[in-house]
């Protein structure tokens, strides 16, 4: 099926990165969010990121302008109904995602493909609540979207071959690489990454190291570009906790128990970079460890 237009739900860090790469690849993009501020911030950030790419010669000035011209925003979810492909990238909470799909359904064209950028939630379960489980898939981008090469593709139990092939073609057109994962909690990347991040928080909780020593150890000792606590702040501690809860409940194994210290940070509203404070405090000139 030909995809020309894309509707992105949720204008947070993932939604704006997804809109950026699709607009650059020539798709018309309509972003929707419940907050006008989030929409305005997303457009400003996409503009800034495209400008940085242009200033470094990665894209031309014409590409930058054309991409910005293809991005539109709306507070009205129903407006996304006329797009060919929906990518839901709202908060990592199943009830939020279900409500979005329920609200979208009456406005959709019959052939529109529905996808979720969920980091962990069952694609089969999300799909089963829609009128088109055969046209529903997990479409999992990595953060920061304009930089990271991978997209995980997750078929639900009912996803048909045409939908899968269409998304493979889309991944190729946006210049990324697909990895297919089965629909089990947190798929591939987060099944492996998130327990490591959770273990880093346990290492902090138990006093084995402080924020700085844990991150330095993993950066310098294993060549990770970011330490696990810095990466957790980058992803968002609410998202990390949500993923651990899905792993814990979905696989019913205590090895996925979220660290109580991670829960405490989330309860405090210290969600990482997006709220200005997490394992580091970002409100000054340079990030300062909070423990
Ligand atoms: C939770 C989930 O469900 C799944 C996930 O996403 S898990 C998280 C996956 N992501 C990671 O693991 C990221 C790990 N970190 C990294 O790879 C790197 O630290 C990083 C790419 C984020 C930054 O790299 P860096 O070398 O430290 O910084 P920097 O030099 O500023 O950036 C490298 C390039 O990325 C670009 N970049 C960085 N952040 C960007 C952003 N948000 N948007 C667009 N471009 C960005 C920079 O402009 C720079 O581009 P050039 O090569 O053209 O100069
Ligand atoms: N962070 C990461 O590294 C990655 C995240 N993901 C996944 O992407 C999704 C989004 O994550 P991320 O961008 O980090 O989260 P953010 O918190 O940055 O953004 C989520 C956005 O969704 C908005 N939102 C909440 N409810 C609704 C709704 N009903 N309708 C429309 N918009 C809504 C939020 O608005 P408000 O702020 O007003 O609540 C916010 O703007 C999650 O499913 C996450 O698991 C996938 C890969 C990597």
What is residue 269's predicted lDDT score, i.e. its pLDDT? Answer: 98
What number is the average pLDDT over the span 104-111? 97
What is residue 1's predicted lDDT score, i.e. its pLDDT? Answer: 82
Three-class DSSP category at 207 = coil
What number is the average pLDDT over the span 6-22? 98
- CA-CA distance, 110 to 171, in Å (whole number)? 22
Measured from the CA of 120, which atom of ligand 1 is nearest?
3
Contact call for residues 180 and 271 (beta carbons, < 8 A)? no
Q: Check pocket membership of 119 for ligand 2, CB cut-off 6 A.
A: yes
Question: Is 119 part of the annotated catalytic residue set?
Answer: yes
ipTM greater than cut 0.90: yes
Question: Is 245 part of the annotated catalytic residue set?
Answer: no
% of the chain surpassing 90 pLDDT = 100
Q: Check pocket membership of 190 for ligand 1, CB cut-off 6 A.
A: yes
Give the pTM. Answer: 0.97
pLDDT at 99 over 90: yes
Directed axis angle between helix 13-24 and helix 61-69, to 10°?
120
**pLDDT, tens digit (0-9, with 9 covering 90-100), for 193-224:** 999 999 999 999 999 999 999 999 999 999 99
Directed axis angle between helix 260-267 and helix 189-205, to 10°?
90
What is residue 226's predicted lDDT score, i.e. its pLDDT? Answer: 98
> Where in 168-220 does DSSP place strands (E)?
177-181
Catalytic residue among 16, 49, 117, 119: 119
């Amino acid at each position: 099926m030909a995809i020309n237009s894309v509707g992105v739900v949720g204008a947070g860090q993932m939604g704006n990165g997804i809109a950026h790469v699709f607009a650059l690849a020539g798709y018309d993009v309509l972003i929707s969010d419940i907050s006008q501020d989030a929409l305005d911030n997303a457009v400003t950030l996409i503009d800034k990121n495209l400008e940085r790419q242009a200033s470094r010669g990665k894209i031309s000035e014409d590409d930058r302008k054309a991409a910005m011209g293809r991005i539109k925003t709306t507070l009205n979810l129903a407006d996304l109904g006329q797009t060919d492909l929906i990518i839901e990238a709202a908060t990592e909470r199943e009830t939020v995602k279900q409500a979005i799909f329920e609200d979208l359904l009456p406005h959709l064209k019959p052939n529109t493909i529905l996808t979720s950028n969920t980091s962990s939630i069952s694609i089969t379960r999300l799909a089963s609540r829609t009128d088109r489980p055969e046209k529903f898939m997990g479409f999992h981008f990595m953060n920061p979207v304009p930089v990271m090469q991978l997209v995980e593709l997750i078929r639900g139990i009912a996803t048909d071959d045409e939908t899968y092939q269409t998304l493979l073609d889309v991944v190729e057109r946006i210049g990324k690489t697909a990895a297919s994962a089965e629909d089990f909690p947190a798929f591939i990347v987060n099944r492996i990454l998130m327990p490591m991040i959770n273990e880093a928080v346990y290492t902090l909780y138990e006093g084995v190291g402080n924020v700085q020593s844990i991150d330095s150890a993993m950066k310098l000792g294993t060549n990770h570009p970011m330490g696990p606590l810095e990466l957790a702040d980058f992803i968002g501690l609410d998202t990390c906790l949500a993923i651990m809860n899905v792993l814990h409940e979905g696989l019913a194994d205590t090895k996925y128990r979220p660290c109580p210290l991670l829960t405490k940070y989330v309860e405090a509203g210290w969600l990482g970079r997006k709220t200005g404070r997490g394992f580091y405090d970002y409100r000054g000139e340079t990030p300062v460890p909070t423990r």
